[in-house]
Amino acid sequence: MMSKIEMTEAIIVAKAEKNVGWCDIAAAAGLSEVYTTSACLGMNHLDAGVADKLCEFLGLGAEVSTALQAFPHKSWDKLVPTDPLIYRLYEIVGVYGPTMKELIHEKFGDGIMSAIDFTMDIDKEENPAGDRVVVTMNGKFLAYKEW
């Protein structure tokens, strides 16, 4: 059985060979760009029909489709990464995480934002002072229950 790492490598090679973007792959799959990319990188799974459409678009075999359908083990290195873009996301959480927690608690109560009932969009906003990255996260509020 193909591993998620081997699956991701095959997808990235096919993506480069076809000279397509994640938006093109997502359109072929019929899902959002963020979710499709996450599945291709091994952090989510796809249902059989969607995985097959994606593989057909990229010219990949059944073993990649099967790997895309496998439920992932969602883990990552616990150390702060050194990739500058990913590190900055950690920095944002480090600096603004407590603020986000306070404001969410004030507006919703004691609980968390779901990363399961969740969507995220990443957009580009053109700006004369330098283009802006717009990340929109939308997660269901889950209150802690008392028992």
- Residues catalogued as catalytic: 88, 91, 114
Q: Tally Cβ neighbours within 10 Å of residue 90.
A: 13
H-assigned helices in the chain: 4-18, 22-29, 33-40, 48-58, 62-69, 84-108
Q: What residue type is 85 in one-letter code?
A: L
Instruction: Check if the beta carbon of residue 65 is closer than 8 Å to that of residue 51.
Output: yes
